[in-house]
Chains A and B, each alone.
Chain A
Amino acid sequence: MTLAVAAPSGARVRPELVCPAGTPAALRTAVEAGADAVYCGFRDETNARNFPGLNFSPAELTEGIRFAHAHGTKVLVAINTFPRAGGTALWHEAVARAEGAGADAVILADLGLVAHTAAKHPSLRRHLSVQAAAANPDAIRFWVETFGIRRVVLPRVLSVPEIAAINAEIPCESEVFVFGGLCVMAEGRCSLSSHATGKSPNMTGVCSPPSHVVYREEGDELVAKLGAFTIDRTAKGVAAPYPTLCKGRFTAGDYAGHVFEDPVSLDAAQMIPGLIEAGVTAFKIEGRQRSRAYTQAVVASFRKAVDDHMAGRPIAADMTRRLAEGQSTTAGAYKKTWR
């Protein structure tokens, strides 16, 4: 099978900016702010951002794709949860609907669903979701050679040199996250939320869901709980981070603090040149659950960063700082010291 291969090192190939579209309004915002592609999902458990008030009905998807295509923007449909045994028809329908609506690609994670899509919708472009956690060239070759995967979204466990090494070996495009929420665990291989709340990214498309969050005042402190567990305690009057369970404070042995990860989000804007050099095809911005204003600001900033770099201009150092909304940011696993 011959497929597009990553550009040779040194060539400055224009990367694709892939932006979140949690709602039809956010889709239009992202398109107008300069997205090369947007990604979105249906309003059900078939996608990994299954939050109330988000996502698309089939009619909204059709209309969104029409709008995006009229502006030269691609639409990628995320169907990236793992189907429920006995209920796979819902996921199969989602793939058929995405194709019927004119989606440019579907983003899939489940082996069985990928196999189904390759067999029943062979001309529908297939991307491998980050939720499939394909973290090395052998695994990626398996997906490409077996199911004709055209692009892999790389898990956030890899350093930039490792990404370059992968791209030198794989017969497909790669996409990496550059901004937004950051998983500490290999994506799609984490049952922490399921364990604490019964709601999981893999099955229900949510992690640390708001429905299980309780804030309670105790003396001078605000206690943030997820399900039955205290995730953090902060002094009253201090901004309390959302109790995402892997970013809370805990004790382990003599250690007290953020055992897994600080409450940080990913910002790899400054790594755009290195990631292009590493052969990355597409940059992904996380945040389908965020506001339109946020989407507009982040997409416009990254549009400018990519355009500046392509034109040989430096990427402004403080470009994305204000977007993190007071949160600290990290380059995550792209820098090896993160491990």
Chain B
Amino acid sequence: MSPVSNPPTLVMGPLLYNWSPETYVDFYARVADEIDVDRVHVGEVVCSKREPFYADHLPGVIERLTRAGKTVVVDTLALVTLKRERQLVADVTGLDGVEIEINDVTPLATLAPGRRFAVSPLVNVYDEGTYGWLAERGAWSICLPFELPIASIEALAAEGTRRGVETQVFAFGRLPLAISGRCYHARIHGLAKDSCQFVCNKDPDGLEVDTLDGEGFLAINGVQTLSDTAVAVLDETERLVAAGVSAFRLSPHACDMGAVATIFRERLAGRIDADEARVRFGGVGLGPRLGRPMMTGVWPATATGGR
């Protein structure tokens, strides 16, 4: 498989935030009918308490996306501790006729041998040994973790090309940097996690965490911590594609995701350059916080001057 001759795959990653069921259904209807992506991830990754809100709608969403010609991938939870959460994971690994993506190694305990799976950026794939082991276990797509330097991305993408596995990068959205047993939304509202009143639903893109000097620092989304600004990998796309990266993941935000997908499609096809793409990003409605200053490199730390 030559990554250069095939246009890269555009992937709508799983929704990480707590959107209302109505917004959720509307969003996936738009993805099915209007948004130019090849593959769409569904399923709750962040918090098992949110899952019941979507459960009834999920079969309809999958059906609609499939009918629209999208490849559908169902994700598993990222942090699994409770019995109910283990059951949710087993329910996903037991699904027939749909692709699945793992967000930690828990699903590998129940996944039938020979059943193929995708690997999310929340799984620690840092080296060829891990990449190769997962490929042999049945991984057909691996989205790399955020903190990898470009040299690692290139080495792992080469491994993917050798093995016929798709190497993917997280290309748009707030970077999910950490997951915890503690719910920060509940904590800052003076609530316990078990009686959280789902306060995270007030923040469809997460809630910004600023330093005491008023600088943007991070964002919280229930048990998840994310980057303050969004990443939009627009600068190094040619280098990544040349290295063998063949899929780019867009993380859903409360902005014009159709416009975001179109910009990436044009950029990856070489019809616009990074500068033009950046200009166009001004029109996707990211809002004053999320869009400023957007990280456009593959290294999260380049934005903060750390690396």
The 8 Å CB contact of A84, one of B127, B187, B218, is B127
- Give how many A residues have a beta carbon under 8 Å from the other chain's beta carbons: 75
- 8 Å CB contacts to A: which residues of B146-182? 146-148, 151-152, 155-156, 159, 175, 177-182
Which of A56-64, A107-115, A274-282, A303-311 is found at the contact surface with chain B?
Answer: A107-115
With contacts A112-B130, A141-B109, A191-B175 taken as known, whether A157 is within 8 angstroms of B181 at the C-beta atoms is: yes
| Binary interface encoding of chain A residues 228-252 relative to chain B, with 1 for a CB under 8 A from any of its CBs, else 0 | 1111110000000000000011111
The 8 Å CB contact of B177, one of A141, A192, A338, A339, is A192
| Binary interface encoding of chain A residues 64-93 relative to chain B, with 1 for a CB under 8 A from any of its CBs, else 0 | 000000000000000000111111100100
With contacts A202-B124, A259-B187, A339-B194 taken as known, whether A197 is within 8 angstroms of B181 at the C-beta atoms is: no
With contacts A112-B128, A194-B301 taken as known, whether A259 is within 8 angstroms of B209 at the C-beta atoms is: yes
Q: Report the separation of the CA atoms of residues A37 and B156 in the bound assembly, to the nearest whole angstrom.
A: 37
Cβ of B81 and Cβ of A136 under 8 Å apart? yes
Q: Report the separation of the CA atoms of residues A194 and B104 in the bound assembly, to the nearest whole angstrom.
A: 20
Considering the complex, give the chain A residue whose CB is closest to the CB of B145.
A191
Q: Report the separation of the CA atoms of residues A53 and B90 in the bound assembly, to the nearest whole angstrom.
A: 46
With contacts A162-B81, A251-B209 taken as known, whether A195 is within 8 angstroms of B127 at the C-beta atoms is: no
Shortest Cβ distance from residue A139 to the other chain B in the assembled complex, whole angstroms = 4
Residue B29, interface by CB 8 Å: no
Which of B2-10, B131-139, B233-241, B247-255 is found at the contact surface with chain A?
Answer: B131-139
Residue B22, interface by CB 8 Å: no
Shortest Cβ distance from residue B109 to the other chain A in the assembled complex, whole angstroms = 4
Residues on the A chain within 8 Å of B129, using CB: 83, 88, 110-113, 115-116
Cβ of A229 and Cβ of B124 under 8 Å apart? no
With contacts A138-B89, A139-B106, A157-B180 taken as known, whether A86 is within 8 angstroms of B207 at the C-beta atoms is: no
Shortest Cβ distance from residue B257 to the other chain A in the assembled complex, whole angstroms = 24
- 8 Å CB contacts to A: which residues of B266-307? 299-301, 304-307
Cβ of B110 and Cβ of A138 under 8 Å apart? yes
| SS class, residues of chain B in contact with chain A | mixed
Shortest Cβ distance from residue A128 to the other chain B in the assembled complex, whole angstroms = 10
Q: Report the separation of the CA atoms of residues A198 and B90 in the bound assembly, to the nearest whole angstrom.
A: 36
Q: Report the separation of the CA atoms of residues A253 and B209 in the bound assembly, to the nearest whole angstrom.
A: 8
With contacts A86-B152, A186-B180, A260-B225 taken as known, whether A232 is within 8 angstroms of B307 at the C-beta atoms is: no
Residues on the A chain within 8 Å of B126, using CB: 82-85, 110, 202-203
Cβ of B212 and Cβ of A212 under 8 Å apart? no
Cβ of B215 and Cβ of A339 under 8 Å apart? no
Residues on the B chain within 8 Å of A83, using CB: 126-127, 129
Q: Report the separation of the CA atoms of residues A85 and B132 in the bound assembly, to the nearest whole angstrom.
A: 12
Cβ of A85 and Cβ of B194 under 8 Å apart? no
| Binary interface encoding of chain B residues 187-220 relative to chain A, with 1 for a CB under 8 A from any of its CBs, else 0 | 1110011100000000000011111111101101
Residue B122, interface by CB 8 Å: yes
Cβ of A250 and Cβ of B211 under 8 Å apart? yes
Cβ of B178 and Cβ of A133 under 8 Å apart? no
The 8 Å CB contact of A198, one of B192, B210, B301, is B301
Shortest 6 CB-CB contacts between residues of A and residues of B: A112-B129, A157-B181, A198-B307, A198-B306, A112-B130, A82-B126
Subset of 6 A-B contacts with CB under 8 Å: A82-B124, A113-B130, A192-B178, A194-B301, A227-B305, A336-B194
**Chain B residues at the A interface, C-beta cutoff of 8 Å:** 78-83, 85-86, 89-90, 104-106, 108-110, 122, 124, 126-134, 145-148, 151-152, 155-156, 159, 175, 177-184, 186-189, 192-194, 207-215, 217-218, 220, 225, 227, 299-301, 304-307
